[in-house]
Amino acid sequence: MTNVNKIKGTIGILTGGGDVPGLNPAIRAVTIRAIREGYQVIGLRRGWAGITELVRDKQVDNSSKYILLTEDVVNRAGRTGGTFLHSSRTRPSHVPKNQVPDHLKDIYSDEENDLTPEVIKNLAWLNIDYLIPIGGDDTLSYGVRLYKEGVKVVAIPKTMDNDVPGTDYCIGFSTCVTRTINMTNVLRTSAGSHERMLVMEVFGRYAGFTALLPTMAGAANRCVIPEYKFDIEKLTELMVADRYTNPSKYSVVLVSEGAMFEGGDMTFENHEMDMFGHKKLGGIGELVSAEMKNLSGKFNNGRTINVINQKLGYLVRGGDPDAIDSIVPMAYGNLALDLILQGIHGRLVILKNGRYDNAPLEIITSSKKLINVEKYYNTDRLRPFYKSFEMKPLFIMTGE
């Protein structure tokens, strides 16, 4: 490691929100390049939680809050999935009273507390000159808050939903699509063996990229997405027709976790909210399966068709990254270092129209990245449009 007397500065890095394959390669890319450029790198543990809970006292063991990163440490983890720095959905600006760290309870005693002043002091205590948060729009929205408070932030987008505004690609998306296609192909053999309809629930709270793109790639006959409330009778009719025309007598639909019935709302596992105000989604796949089975006889001469229901969940976010989620994080990490070496901050590293670039950090909170339904989704057929691919980017739908 670079001699401490020659260190140009200190870079902090963290991963927040859900885990995805590609986080460890991004951490490795930042760390190796930074060290070779003369910087020290500190990994902040558990997303925003570690830097929020840190105790500014040299006598206190803060090893669960941060770690000094070396090439050996990141090389061991860099080829694996998940995040060795761990993660959380902590939002320092909205900390409930019962989650305020013990050493701060005398200062912060409201039902909801803004611990941002402590975060800024903690970053200064660690001598962090630049901060690189890796996360989705929730994690990075707090990065925007810190930037507005004077912290030098360069952000890296990740989320399997691929819905961070300003970029065509977020770390984790390609592996999610790859796994979705693969697991649909695994389960279609069971659906075909028993002549059933197959319902696969996939991630996607507000944006349906993880359902629409695998469907476009041939993984499913139909898909329903958060951007368009669907008619369950129409979906059932289409699925029964798809099954009838299939020689193996089965059909497949991908259902985004945030998809909604016509006239309905999102389906939640429970009503507990995280610090970003989100309830845990889950169950729409079960509801679609039950309704499709009940309605199937109407379109099948009175005979009910059984349904296989599978929620992919963590199966698409665990394990090793695919090729794209190994290459893009490497590039994003180096892009972040390029900016830091130029003294530039307040930026989000991005992929746009097939080229690496960067954008103003504020773009994260200034817009929403959703599927352009009119352009990409056939609402009559509940599947993607298959037309006008010329000059489109690699993953077709960019949410422009």
Which positions are annotated as active-site residues?
161
For helices 23-36 and 324-341, the axis angle rounded to 10 degrees is 40
Q: In sequence order, what E strands does the chain have?
A: 9-15, 39-44, 66-68, 95-96, 112-113, 130-135, 154-157, 197-202, 222-224, 251-256, 268-273, 279-281, 307-311, 347-352, 355-360, 377-378, 383-384
Q: What is the Cα–Cα distance from 249 to 245, expressed in whole angstroms?
A: 7
Are 317 and 17 contacting, i.e. CB atoms less than 8 angstroms apart? no
Q: What is the Cα–Cα distance from 398 to 353, expressed in whole angstroms?
A: 9
Q: What is the Cα–Cα distance from 226 to 260, expressed in whole angstroms?
A: 6
SS3 104: helix
Question: Residue 30: in which H helix or E strand, if any?
Answer: helix 23-36
Q: In sequence order, what E strands does 232-325 have?
A: 251-256, 268-273, 279-281, 307-311
Amino acid at residue number 389: F
Q: In sequence order, what E strands does 76-229 have?
A: 95-96, 112-113, 130-135, 154-157, 197-202, 222-224
